[in-house]
Structure 1
């Protein structure tokens, strides 16, 4: 997986940072990708990353209905109608999302050339399954913000083990359809009648990665639950340390509070984002350096910055 930050600012755009949007790309799945939030200008950011084509976008997850996380969505949906090969798109989000989009589409007389499905999450504090298939399971929980806001936990399914190529060679099995059968867990019968079971030539399954992407939130128990032992946690850090009272008044977190949440959750890596417009890039880096005393593997997001998942402590730019 590849996490790409399209917008990392809070409230309003600046010359350094656009408002919130994150792409989660799957190179192994023909470069398909998902979006988490779509603040104003998101489609312009996408134009700058050639491999993120709207025809490859099939899911969008909205954390909440504040404009800096949402106002780019109608334009993006409309533009996607002009993209050849754009198939069904599903948008998940809080109650009210369908009324918002239906109203805009109706008033603007927009007619999409693809199927749009809108799924509204339940209004409850408990964990709810948003999506479950052979690739992953995604759950959501409500966070502590001024309006209903969700965090998402993406849990990749275990990956099939690797084939023992040397053993296959000794058995006289050449690359071809038999490899595919064994990878799928099927048995293969040799010409002499010998049956080769997949478990004889496959290594143990590999654990899938877990990514947690939170919307705006003050420190809360659900944020820690969603982030439990995540390979990568994305947590807002609207304010610098020392502004806890101001953060609480607006339903946000300071960077130190984000670091504490990652530490409590035993996450492997923390990427902080959603910085107030008052902070220039150098100020954000100073904030991050201070917060590393609480959680060492902390990285400050910037527009266009990418992280491979799983990743090492250095990240990827």
Structure 2
């Protein structure tokens, strides 16, 4: 091990350095730092680095680069919450990913300044996104596959959006180290079948237990829905369902929510559709709850689509919705993330005479001395009497991710029409999607049965993905008749695997379930240039970066 003052002692991690000093006698055991026993008992997921020579003074810095970067992140993104270094979930959180990105960029760009670092990290995080599948089964949750639900994680701001919420979603969310229920800000329900929404009341109560203490419930229900901590979107009837479930169970929540309903037209409903019950709550007998804020009724445009359902401003993700063909009204969601910040071409700026330092930052950001002129992004700077404009040194913007998440459907061609409409309106520049999440409930040999139940087969979905030039197709919502990948060809009843139980149970042997891999093989048989994968419960899938054009 290292000796006091050696090169390893100066540049190794602080934990290994103290270990070495204790083992070779350079530091007496009784003089060990107070934090040493804590670190040994609860080792951090990533060891703190100390990559600076020992200073001349006897008192060393208390703060490390990670601390400085974390404090800068908190100053800019105050909603990220606290981080516990000894907690696995926090070590996979947004703030942890941010610190990890800082380390990566420092290694790639050793000369980067503190002012430039956070901006560079923000650019990188804008390119990233993750999907966590909580349940991938259809119909009902089973021991090997949960009911529908997935989380879309935004690594830049820390928000987590939930799409569908079947029974057991609240349990699956707590099992995943990547999901923080207190950060769920938006919930999107595709349709009102139980395997997509029965878990919602329980999940809202769990969020209440795990949410932030700063949420305040106002005394009146007439407040703007902007005050709601959680905003929920879905077809008509969703508001009444949540209100009755919470009211009949006498649930008192400490945070506020609002339900925004997509108003349906006759064209959005199946042929011969009749309502079984009222979609709207009775204002007299079922008044709004104390924790409920007024939600919007969102009407479709003339072309039948619901545009910007979250009412987002130009700086946030836009969510558009389209009707799908199913046995009951069902919708899909198209999430368009905003353009990333334009990168600065340092070589071009230097060739124009811009010196390294603050002026480089002025060209990229809106910070500024008195002699700069405001432009849409960045500011022009004056160098040796010459005005340098941001457009001269900034790279072209990179579009944000385009992610389509479909509800149950046997015909999703409305997604194609929506993408075409957005192109016609110049809201997107090309009919290309980065990710398509779509159900593939049954194999092609059961296509007729799938159609009768309002579901799709892998071949149909992959053909749709090919027409939309999808980069990554993720299949989900599998019939419970299929075994999970790790159980392929085996009975999925745990008792059937335990010989001590099966020998005494005196029950008939269950038929082996076919592997879900059948669906993947059929999808790959179609001429499709993108990637195809099967979703699995509690698996995180990283969204590929947007290809540069």
- Provide TM-score, normalisation by structure 1: 0.90
1:211 maps onto 2:352 in alignment: no
**Distance in 1 (alpha carbons) for counterparts of 2:444 and 2:475:** 13
Helix, strand or coil: the match of 1:81?
helix
Equivalent position of 1:106 in the other structure: 247
Of residues 483, 498, 503, the one that matches 1:280 is: 483
* Within-5 A mapping of 1:1-317: 1-29=129-157, 31-82=158-209, 83-85=211-213, 88-124=229-265, 125=268, 126-129=304-307, 130-131=309-310, 132-133=312-313, 134-167=315-348, 171-174=354-357, 178=362, 179-181=364-366, 185-190=377-382, 195-225=387-417, 229-281=432-484, 282=488, 283-296=515-528, 297-310=531-544
**Distance in 2 (alpha carbons) for counterparts of 1:115 and 1:50:** 25
Query: 1:307 offset after TM fit, Å?
Result: 2.0
**Distance in 2 (alpha carbons) for counterparts of 1:89 and 1:50:** 21
Equivalent position of 1:315 in the other structure: none
Runs of 5+ unmatched residues, structure 2: 1-128, 216-228, 269-303, 368-374, 420-430, 489-514
**Distance in 2 (alpha carbons) for counterparts of 1:39 and 1:86:** 28
CA-to-aligned-CA distance 1:243-276 (integer Å, 9 cap, x gap): 1110111111112221122123332221110000
Greater RCO between the two (CA within 8 Å, min separation 6)? 1
Q: 1:164 to 1:264 in 2, by over 3 A?
A: closer
Helix, strand or coil: the match of 1:128?
coil
**Distance in 2 (alpha carbons) for counterparts of 1:295 and 1:118:** 41
User: Does the Cα contact within 8 Å between 1:168 and 1:174 map onto a contact in 2?
Assistant: no
Query: 1:47 offset after TM fit, Å?
Result: 1.4
User: Does the Cα contact within 8 Å between 1:219 and 1:261 map onto a contact in 2?
Assistant: no
Equivalent position of 2:62 in the other structure: none
Query: 1:68 offset after TM fit, Å?
Result: 0.6
**Distance in 2 (alpha carbons) for counterparts of 1:86 and 1:23:** 23
User: Does the Cα contact within 8 Å between 1:224 and 1:262 map onto a contact in 2?
Assistant: no
Runs of 5+ unmatched residues, structure 1: 313-317
**Distance in 2 (alpha carbons) for counterparts of 1:86 and 1:258:** 44
Q: 1:98 to 1:286 in 2, by over 3 A?
A: same
Query: 1:76 offset after TM fit, Å?
Result: 1.1
**Distance in 2 (alpha carbons) for counterparts of 1:20 and 1:184:** 42
Query: 1:150 offset after TM fit, Å?
Result: 0.4
User: Does the Cα contact within 8 Å between 1:12 and 1:19 map onto a contact in 2?
Assistant: yes
Which runs of 4 or more aligned residues in structure 1 lie more than 6 Å from their structure 2 counterparts after TM superposition?
A: none
Query: 1:225 offset after TM fit, Å?
Result: 3.5
**Quick check: which one's strand share is greater?**
1
**Distance in 2 (alpha carbons) for counterparts of 1:121 and 1:291:** 32
Query: 1:173 offset after TM fit, Å?
Result: 4.4
Query: 1:188 offset after TM fit, Å?
Result: 4.7
Radius of gyration: which is bigger?
2
**Distance in 1 (alpha carbons) for counterparts of 2:142 and 2:409:** 22
CA-to-aligned-CA distance 1:75-105 (integer Å, 9 cap, x gap): 1111212222575110000100000001011
Helix, strand or coil: the match of 2:392?
helix
Q: 1:62 to 1:295 in 2, by over 3 A?
A: farther
